[in-house]
Amino acid sequence: MKKIKLDTKDAILQAGFDVFSKNSGASLDKVAKRAGVGRATLHRYYASRDELIEALAWAAMEELNQAVDDAVKDAQSYTEGLRLALEAIVPLSNRQLFLANEPLDKNPKIAEAYQKEQQELIADIEQAKREGTFAKDIPSKWIAESFEALTYTAWVMIKDGDATHKQAADLAWHTLTSGLSTPMSK
């Protein structure tokens, strides 16, 4: 199979994901080496570590949004859409785990974009509640935070080699919709 050569900017972004997903405190020298460019070239594209981190955040969010949009376009219900979204998100573990571990709230535009995504997730959860998927007395924000925490857990399981993408997505969905144990008797 022929290897596709990335342009310099894409190579730097890919290298940033590769390097920072393994070590969030890694140096820009390591990113430059991984990208096959010199540090000066890296700095022509991204003047600082913060600029590179911001570019990585936007790229990861765009990738996540595109994957979810593609996965849910034919969903027959909000519940199915949430399950399909989870299945689409879990394989993005390398890039998304980086994003989940990087403090991005200092950038108002990224924080605003994340907040918008949170509101969309909560709205979808509200619809899934109407479908009977989630108990009406559980706050939708709690369910949304659980969705994100289980997604993060799936990414860690994949990164550590403890689950495949499918296994991790199935476990996360089961835990979200059914919990971890049988119902307690009253």
**Which domains are assigned to the chain?**
1-47 (1.10.10.60), 57-178 (1.10.357.10)
Burial 75-85 (b: 16+ CB within 10 A, else e): eeebbebbbbb
Tokens 């959860």 sit on residue: 125
Q: Are 127 and 133 in contact (CB under 8 A)?
A: no
pTM of the complete model: 0.82
Tokens of 8: 């310099």
Per-residue pLDDT tens digits for 38-90: 999 999 999 999 899 889 989 988 998 999 999 999 999 999 999 999 999 99
For 142-154, what is the mean pLDDT?
95
Taking the C-alpha atoms of residue 125 and residue 136, their distance in angstroms, rounded to an integer, is 10
Confidence of residue 4 (pLDDT cuts 50, 70, 90): very low
- Give dist(CA 92, CA 70) in Å, integer: 14
Instruction: Output the pLDDT for position 182.
Output: 61
Q: Do the beta carbons of residue 59 and residue 95 sit within 8 Å?
A: yes
Is the pLDDT at 16 greater than 70, yes or no?
A: yes
